[in-house]
Amino acid sequence: MRNFGSLDGRDVGETLLVSPDGAIAGSVIDLGAAVRDLKIRRADGTLQRVVLGLNSAADYRDHSPHMGAIAGRFGNRIGRGRFTLDGRLYQLPLNENGRTALHGGGVKGFGKAIWTRLHADAASVTLALHSPDGDQGYPGAMTVTCRITLAPPQTLRVELWAITDAPTVLNLCHHSYFNLDGGSDILDHDLMVGADHYTPIDGDFIPTGAVAAVAGTPLDFRIVRAVRNASADGGRTPIDNTFLLHRDRIEPGSDTLLQLAHAATLSSNVSGIVMECWTTEPALQVYDGHKVAVAVPGLDGVRYGASAGIALEPQHVPDSPNLPQFPSTVLRPGAVYRQLTEYRFFG
- Give the residue numbers annotated as catalytic, written as ranges: 175, 313
Pairing label, strands 47-49, 34-41: antiparallel
Closest C-alpha among 285, 261, 286, 278 to residue 191: 286
C-alpha span between 119 and 195 (Å, rounded): 36
* 78, β-bridge pairs: 101
Residue 55 DSSP label: S
Cis preceding-peptide flag for 73 (omega within 30 of 0): yes
Burial pattern 240-276, b for ≥16 Cβ within 10 A else e, equals: ebbbbbebeeeeebeeeeeebbbbbbbbbeebebebb
Length of the chain: 347
Helix (H) or strand (E) holding 58: helix 57-63
Closest C-alpha among 336, 335, 337, 331 to residue 139: 331
With beta carbons less than 8 A apart as the criterion, state whether 169 and 101 touch: no
C-alpha span between 323 and 316 (Å, rounded): 11
C-alpha span between 347 and 344 (Å, rounded): 10
